[in-house]
Amino acid sequence: MPPSVAELLTTKRVLLCVGTGGVGKTTLSAALGIAAARQGRRTLVLTVDPARRLANALGLRAFDEHVQRIALPAMGGQDQAAALDASMLDVKRTFDRVVTRYARTPQSAQRILGHPFYVQASTALAGSQEYMATERLYECATCGQWDLVVLDTPPAEHALDFLDAPRRLIDLFGSPAFRKVIAPTTRLKSGVFRSGSMVMRGLQRFTSVEMFTNLLEFFGELSETFDGFVQRAEQVQQLVTGPDAAFVLVSACDPTSSDQAASLSRQLRAQHMTPAAWLVNRVLALDPTLGGDPAELAAALAGEWSQLGDAMGGDAEQTRRLAEQVAQTANALGRLAQADQAVVQRVRGLAGANMAVVPVVRRDEEPHDLMGLSHIAQALVADAQA
């Protein structure tokens, strides 16, 4: 038996919600966080892109990484004092801390942070959001303030960009070719890059020398921090591949989305990361046997209603038509529910024996408030115990 979601919430230190865009990662990260907090764990939800109403419910302001303490509403006999912490990822502030940590001297850190290229590089560098999400995750998971950190992953075009980011960085910064190009630029005033050299005269034809020198200077300065970056990326890698971390796949309740999640799951395993639970989101909460045979139901309804006589206005034809409409509607809803059940069954097959599969009900109202999220949280844990 794979560990239930309730077990994951009590035993892991890090849960990473992964899936393609729009499937419900942010919503379910918040719900998982609430469930853990209600179990008494000191929990932080680290979120990336909460919808505005959800951000409001969690007390978060855009681009602000301050940690917000949220008192959870009391629910059926549960601990009234439960509280959850939430924080948003601030890519630039996280990058600033990494640079400050790994620069050789405080002066050198100041030169990098104050460099005109820095703002661009820290926010627009390919993969920097993904990389900083894991960096912040590591900071929070190891600072001792929380028992569990739930990470809502960035809306990556390809969900795995996020997992690849630290690896790509290790590969890039650690590569001998990169070091050959960047390392000598720290000695800019000499060699081929000295002013007036043939190389510089050649370059002058294409670009402003000042701009180019600036760029080289910036990367030269930044290159001091590379060893630190690489070392940290390896630590992050160890954390997310280790026994304290588990991945929670999130998919929508349809075949395409489940195939995408299954593929994600295979790629995670290939990288020694453990997909431990699969949440199938927005499953219709209807009885699949609803309606049954529409002709039988229509006949039964028409029979019942005709006995009510006056209550239906006594018009047999009208009663029969109404019974038919009701029977057809019930049957259509039943078929939708059957399709959703079939997807859940299929997911159970795809997930195999090592992953808890939990259907999450599609709610009539988008779960933007703490009460809506708390209901999902309760179901996640209840279903896991069933």
Ligand X SMILES: Nc1ncnc2c1ncn2[C@@H]1O[C@H](COP(=O)(O)OP(=O)(O)O)[C@@H](O)[C@H]1O
Query: Can you read off the two tokens belonging to residue 239?
Result: 């954390």
Residue 47 binds which one of Mg ion, ligand X, none, with CB within 5 to 8 A depending on kind? none
Which residue lies nearer to Mg ion by CB, 26 or 331? Answer: 26
Q: Which of 242, 57, 267 is nearest to 159 (CA)?
A: 267
151 binds ligand X (CB under 6 A): no
154 binds ligand X (CB under 6 A): no
**Binds ligand X by CB under 6 A, chosen from 2, 10, 117, 155:** 155
**Binds ligand X by CB under 6 A, chosen from 302, 358, 367, 377:** 367
**Binds ligand X by CB under 6 A, chosen from 79, 293, 304, 366:** 366
375 binds ligand X (CB under 6 A): no
Strand 245-252 relative to strand 68-71, pairing: unpaired
Q: Which residues contact 375 (CB under 8 A, 6 or more apart)?
A: 363, 367
Place of tokens 């075009």: 157
**Binds ligand X by CB under 6 A, chosen from 97, 320, 346, 362:** 362
**Binds ligand X by CB under 6 A, chosen from 27, 128, 213, 223:** 27
Residue 21 binds which one of ligand X, Mg ion, none, with CB within 5 to 8 A depending on kind? ligand X
Stretch that binds ligand X, among 20-28, 91-99, 259-267, 343-351 (CB under 6 A): 20-28
Stretch that binds ligand X, among 17-25, 58-66, 162-170, 232-240 (CB under 6 A): 17-25
Residues in the chain: 386
Which residue lies nearer to ligand X by CB, 29 or 185? Answer: 29
HSE of 116, CA atoms in CB hemisphere, 13 A: 7
How far is residue 7 from each of residues 15, 47, 142, 290, 383, measured CA to CA in Å?
12, 22, 21, 34, 12
The nearest distance, CB 291 to ligand X, in angstroms, is: 23
**Contacts (CB under 6 A) with ligand X, residues 282-341:** 282
Contact 337, 345 (CB under 8 A): no
The packing angle between helices 316-351 and 294-308, to 10°, is 140
Place of tokens 């997909």: 275
Q: Which residues contact 100 (CB under 8 A, 6 or more apart)?
A: 106, 109, 113
* Contact footprint for ligand X (CB under 6 A): 19, 21-27, 51, 155, 281-282, 360, 362-363, 366-367
